[in-house]
Structure 1
Amino acid sequence: MLFTLAIIISLVAYFIIGQWAGRRVRHVDDYMVAGRNAPTFVILGTLVASYASTSAFLGETGFAYRGYPFVMLIFAATSTAGCLIGALIFGRYLRRSQALTVPAFFGERFDSRWVQIIAGLTTVVGLGAYMLGVMQGAGMMFTEVTGLPYWMGLVLVWLTYTGFVLYSGSPGVILTDTLMFVVFTAAALGGSAYLIHALGGWSGVLTGLLDQSAKPGIALWHGVLSGDGARFHTPGEALTWGIVLGLVWAAVLATSPWQASRYLMARNEHVVMRSAMLTAVALAVFYALMMLAGAAVNLFKPDLANPEHAMVWAALHVLPAWLSVLILTGVFAAGLSSCSTFLSLIGFSIANDIMGSKHNDRRAMRASRIAILVAGLVTLGLALLQPPAVMAVVWFAATLFASSWGPVAVASVWSRRITAAGAGWGLGVGFVVNLVLSLLDQQGAIDLPVYLHPVLLSTVAALIAIVLASTVTEVRPKAQRYRASLHCDQPELERHWARGTAGIALFTAAAGVGLILFLWRNYAEALARLAPHYQLADSAVTGAYMLSAGFGGMLLIAGVVGFVAVRRRSRQALQSYSAQPEAG
């Protein structure tokens, strides 16, 4: 009863807060991009919240529970690099465009209504599938916790986020996202710390995982390699999976609509870079703790029928009541934040990008609200009809954008030769080929090795389509001028904001060093001390040291790259600014 009441109260609270945020919505800019005035902490909150959905709390911790906590750290080390890369090569230029949506940016950049429509269609289909998986995760957890029917949880979740998205649009989304970010971050840190401490710290968890025989290898960097439930069969296969999928998700973090669209709401492009670096730090800490906690649940309950319920089971049976409430409401918050983000983007794309609403502000907002309601009802119906598979659905839907949006997004800023036809064919081919190959792979019709993931093959197909279509068509003059305008720096902005951004870059690098030292001591050295007793191979210990260095090393590199990039732009801006009086 306590948990049911806590979840209901949290749903009501988010609904009220979201409604309150809508009081200041007056214009389309307010509704779709929150007036383009969001500060760093709010953009950080909405970036992490839209990424760390129920898939992270249920699907990915379930994968760690199955035997692969440290493979997930390989994945995370690679994927979080996409935060800063995306901000540097795409996000800050997207913010300069002042577009209402990312598809609208593509349409303006290539001077093509068709490119905008194609990008809008991929947004609706891809995010619709993603939202389906997240909703199902929330519904599963609701049933697990309350014992009430699955459909009831889906309807309550749907009513909550649809209610405030309809009224307040982006202001409600980013405000509730930020609050939810605080809640589920506290839940992740508190729940993970309690579980790990209860088992004697990292050394105690590692000892327990090495002692158990049901999942041999779960404490090693490559995870379980034998048995019926083994996902990988060689260390090389596990490493390849972690790196390949990490690169795929780096592209997702860099250019996907639910991540990149947050930058359109930022106060300026320095807020874009600051929030991106802090997002990388937050995600790295999240994965470092949550994945080990997911594996540690095996020491309390090694035979869960559904691994995706691992953290929910721990909340209900291991954690104290107050922390259980925090964890469960945190998981719900993660699901709500992602659903509200996806639903708002779907509605905006239907109204602005596909239908091309050119009415006044009031009519444009009404069109968006109708689109949001219809899209939400369709997704709710599908969630009720389809059997839940959280991680599979979410990872399938999210990676569609890596192959379709990734190449076009980068080329839109950095290529002078890509044409409207190239962009349109790149978006369409990358999306469709990925969709077809992924469905065939999931159905068992084809059996692709890890290094030939559908995303990689479809990205190559998209690049070929871009090159071929751009070769036989010409760049439009308006598109050339638009791209040139994106590369016009703002010296005055650099003078006032560069120092703070450089400081956050140094903080990011320092956080990377801290994570290296933390994992080196608590994982690699602890495993090295246990190696003689458990007769571990030298490669297992060496791999632990390399993982410890690589996990934090990505943050260290990101911080250094960010610092160098900011300082270089700052020097150029100061030179430009000092030369202005002479020019006059």
Structure 2
Amino acid sequence: MVYTTAILLSLIGYFVIGHLAGRRVKHLDDYLVAGRNAPTFLILGTLVASYLSTSAFLGETGFAYSGYPFVMLIFASVSTSGCLLGALAFGRYLRRSGALTVPEFFGKRFASRHVQVIAGLTTVFGLGAYLLGVMQGAGIMFEELTGLPYWVGLVLVWLTYTGFILYSGSPGVVLTDTVMFVIFSLAALGGSLYIINDLGGWHGVLEGLMSQSDKPGIALWHGVVRGSDASFASPGESLTWGLTLGLVWAAVLAASPWQASRYLMARNEHVVMRSAMFTAVALAVFYALMMMTGAAINLYKPDLDAEHAMVWSALNVLPTWLGIVILTGVFAAGLSSCSTFLSIIGFSLSNDILPPSRDEKTAMRTSRLAVLAAGLIALVLALFQPPAVMAVVWFAATLFASSWGPVALMSIWSRRITAAGAAWGLVVGFVGNLLLSLADQAGWISLPVYLHPVVISTVAALVAILVASRMTRVSQSERDYLAFLHQDDESLEAGWMTGSRWVAVCTMLSGIGIGVFLWNQYAETLAGLAGRFAIPDSSVWGAYALAVGCGGMLFIAGAAGYWVVRARKPAMTAARSMEP
């Protein structure tokens, strides 16, 4: 009863907060991009909340429980750096564009409504699948915690986030996302520290995992590579998977619509860079704690359904008050992703796909109707489609890595890409990934780890961009717009630059701190247990390499941020407009 009450109160709370935010919505800019005035903390909150859905708490923590906590850490160290590098290479230029949506940016960059519509269609279909996955995760959570039917949870969740999006738009999404970010961050931190300390700290957990025989190798950097249930056949395959999928998700974090669109709401491009740095640090800490916690749950009960491991521990291991915090936190993570994805789908439908509205009032009404229609379709599909949270979410996200990734980066850094090249890159990357992924899941083809569908489709998209661009010409409008994007915003004061440099330094120090922590708590502990458990030298050295790599990736990302900000000189000329 206590968990049911907590979940219902959280739904009411988010609904009220979202509606309070709606009082500030007066114009289309307010509704779609929160008036372009969101500070660093709000952008940080919505970036993390939109990324960490129920898939992270249930699916990815479940994968760690299944035997691969440190493979997931390899994945995370690569992928989270993509958040900052994406902000530096794409996000800050996106903010300069003054677009209302990311597809609109592509339309303006290539002077082509055709490109904008294609980007909008990929947004609707790709995020529609993602929304389906996180909705189902929230429905499963509601059913397990309250005992009420799955469909009841889906309907209540849908009513909550659809209700405040219809009224408040982006301000409601950003504010509720940030509240949810605070809640599930406290939940992840509190739950992880309790479980790890309850089992004797990192030393106790690692010793216990090495002693058990159900999942041999779970405490090693490569995870379980023996037995019929092993996901990987060798340490090399584990490493290849972690690096390959890490790079894929780095592209997702850099250019996907639900991440990149957050930058359009930022007060300026320094807020873009600062929030991305803080996001990289927050995600690095989250994965370091939660993946270890997922593995540690095996020491309580090794035969759980993997995706339910965190829920089981909250109900059976944690104190009731902490269990409530972590479960409402997990639930909040799913709800925040639902609100983000539905808002982007609705905004893209109204702004990028449907014919332009005659006036601002009509545009806002069209946006709200699009949100409602998209939400109803998602609800119906979630009710009748069998749940598969992690599979659906990971499948949908990688669609944007292969389609949006190449086009987004080349739109900023290539003078030769044309509108035709961008259009074909979006189509080939999206459709190619979709077809290959479906064929792979159906068993029609079998691909090695290093030839994941997203890798093949990304290469195909690049080829399509190069061929189509070579056959067409860059227009003068495209040249002018690219030149505009590379003009620094001279209206920003030097104080913004100083603050951003300090944030970059803190990011680098965080990388050093995480590396030292993993070196001492993981690698040194494993080295101390090597003689007792006959741990191969390669596994011990791999643990040290993992510590250096995880800290090093974050340090490099922070250093890149410092270099970009340092390269910016104080303004010497008059302020320019944000529009070309």
TM-score class, shorter-chain normalisation, is over 0.9
Letter in 2 for 1:545: Y
Letter in 2 for 1:45: G
Deviations 1:513-569 (A, max 9, x none): 100111111000001111100011001100000001110111111111111111111
Runs of 4+ in 1 over 3 A off after TM superposition: none
After superposition, where does 1:146-185 map in structure 2 within 5 Å? 146-185=146-185
Match for residue 204 of structure 1?
204
Match for residue 504 of structure 2?
505
SS in 1 for 2:223: coil
Distance 1:424 1:262 in 2: 23
Distance 2:202 2:501 in 1: 34
Match for residue 427 of structure 2?
428
Distance 2:65 2:30 in 1: 43
Match for residue 101 of structure 1?
101
Match for residue 296 of structure 2?
296
Question: What is the root-mean-square deviation in Å for CA atoms of aligned residues?
Answer: 1.2
SS in 2 for 1:388: coil
Distance 2:460 2:531 in 1: 49
Letter in 2 for 1:380: L
Match for residue 60 of structure 2?
60
Deviations 1:432-485 (A, max 9, x none): 000000111111111000100111100011011111111111112111111111
Distance 2:158 2:123 in 1: 20
- How far did 1:324 drift? 0.4
After superposition, where does 1:293-442 map in structure 2 within 5 Å? 293-304=293-304, 306-442=305-441
Distance 1:549 1:419 in 2: 41
SS in 2 for 1:492: coil
- How far did 1:496 drift? 3.0
Letter in 2 for 1:477: Q
Letter in 2 for 1:154: L
Is the Cα contact below 8 Å between 1:69 and 1:291 reproduced in 2? yes
Distance 1:538 1:389 in 2: 38
Match for residue 29 of structure 1?
29
Letter in 2 for 1:106: F
Distance 1:417 1:289 in 2: 44
Higher mean displacement: 140-149 or 398-407: 140-149
| Residue 85 (str. 1) matches residue 102 (str. 2) | no
Distance 1:156 1:196 in 2: 34
After superposition, where does 1:177-576 map in structure 2 within 5 Å? 177-304=177-304, 306-493=305-492, 495-570=494-569, 573=570, 576=572
Deviations 1:27-60 (A, max 9, x none): 1000000000000000000000000000000000
Distance 1:543 1:527 in 2: 10
Is the Cα contact below 8 Å between 1:512 and 1:556 reproduced in 2? yes
Letter in 2 for 1:243: L
Distance 1:356 1:551 in 2: 47
Letter in 2 for 1:323: L
Deviations 1:342-395 (A, max 9, x none): 000000010000003332221111101111111111111111111111110000
Distance 1:138 1:509 in 2: 35
Is the Cα contact below 8 Å between 1:180 and 1:334 reproduced in 2? yes
Deviations 1:209-252 (A, max 9, x none): 11110000000000001122110010000000000000000000
Distance 2:71 2:442 in 1: 25
Distance 2:277 2:177 in 1: 18
Distance 1:274 1:399 in 2: 26
Is the Cα contact below 8 Å between 1:494 and 1:569 reproduced in 2? no
Is the Cα contact below 8 Å between 1:72 and 1:242 reproduced in 2? yes
Distance 2:132 2:27 in 1: 30
Distance 1:494 1:25 in 2: 28
SS in 1 for 2:172: helix
Residue identity over aligned pairs, in percent, reads 70
Letter in 2 for 1:449: P
Deviations 1:166-214 (A, max 9, x none): 1100000000000000000000000000000000000000011111100
**Unpaired segments ≥5 residues, structure 2:** none
Is the Cα contact below 8 Å between 2:278 and 2:507 reproduced in 1? yes
Distance 1:463 1:185 in 2: 38
SS in 1 for 2:492: helix
SS in 2 for 1:125: helix
Name the TM-score, length of structure 1 as normaliser: 0.97
Letter in 1 for 2:359: N
Higher mean displacement: 226-235 or 277-286: 226-235
Letter in 2 for 1:546: A
Letter in 1 for 2:61: T
Letter in 2 for 1:271: V
Distance 2:157 2:228 in 1: 36
- How far did 1:492 drift? 3.4
- How far did 1:494 drift? 5.0
Deviations 1:302-354 (A, max 9, x none): 111x2000100000000001100001100111001100000000000100000
Higher mean displacement: 351-360 or 76-85: 351-360
Is the Cα contact below 8 Å between 1:40 and 1:271 reproduced in 2? yes
Distance 1:461 1:550 in 2: 30
SS in 2 for 1:244: helix
- How far did 1:141 drift? 1.2
Letter in 1 for 2:232: F
- How far did 1:577 drift? 4.8
Distance 1:471 1:37 in 2: 40
SS in 2 for 1:356: coil
Higher mean displacement: 279-288 or 134-143: 134-143
Distance 1:225 1:356 in 2: 54
Distance 1:339 1:481 in 2: 37
Letter in 1 for 2:490: P
| Residue 43 (str. 1) matches residue 43 (str. 2) | yes
- How far did 1:495 drift? 1.9
SS in 1 for 2:474: coil
- How far did 1:145 drift? 1.3
SS in 2 for 1:80: helix
* Change over 3 Å in CA distance of 1:226–1:440 after alignment to 2: same
Letter in 2 for 1:29: D
Distance 1:163 1:524 in 2: 49
Is the Cα contact below 8 Å between 1:138 and 1:332 reproduced in 2? yes
Give the paired residue count. Answer: 576
SS in 1 for 2:488: coil
Is the Cα contact below 8 Å between 2:85 and 2:560 reproduced in 1? no
Letter in 1 for 2:31: Y
Distance 1:294 1:92 in 2: 35
Is the Cα contact below 8 Å between 2:217 and 2:223 reproduced in 1? yes
Letter in 1 for 2:458: T
